[in-house]
């Protein structure tokens, strides 16, 4: 396992220690979980940005709709009793 040195202000350190104690864990574990959570959010945001770009580029094109699937969906809806 790798280690880093992370200087914290006194108030932030106090809040971290208080939160760790309240959650029954160590400050190290709480900080590790916070970093993991932050990195997961960053990864998800990057994926969302890529998806948004794809949607913007291909909206209304042949890549936008699956014609056979659309027809099947309409046929299914029309075949159902009201």
Q: CA-to-CA distance for 7 and 17, rounded, in angstroms? A: 14
- State residue 21's pLDDT score: 98
Q: CA-to-CA distance for 22 and 39, rounded, in angstroms? A: 24
Per-residue pLDDT tens over the stretch 25-82: 999 999 999 999 999 999 999 999 999 999 999 988 888 878 888 899 999 999 998 7
- State residue 64's pLDDT score: 81
- State residue 56's pLDDT score: 93
Q: CA-to-CA distance for 41 and 48, rounded, in angstroms? A: 10
């Amino acid at each position: 396992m790798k280690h880093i040195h992370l200087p914290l202000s006194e108030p932030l350190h106090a809040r971290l220690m208080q939160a760790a104690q309240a959650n029954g864990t160590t400050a190290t574990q709480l900080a590790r979980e916070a970093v993991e959570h932050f990195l997961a959010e960053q990864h998800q945001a990057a994926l969302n940005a890529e998806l948004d770009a794809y949607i913007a580029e291909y909206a209304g094109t042949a890549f936008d709709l699956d014609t056979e699937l659309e027809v099947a969906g309409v046929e299914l809806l029309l075949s159902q009793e009201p």
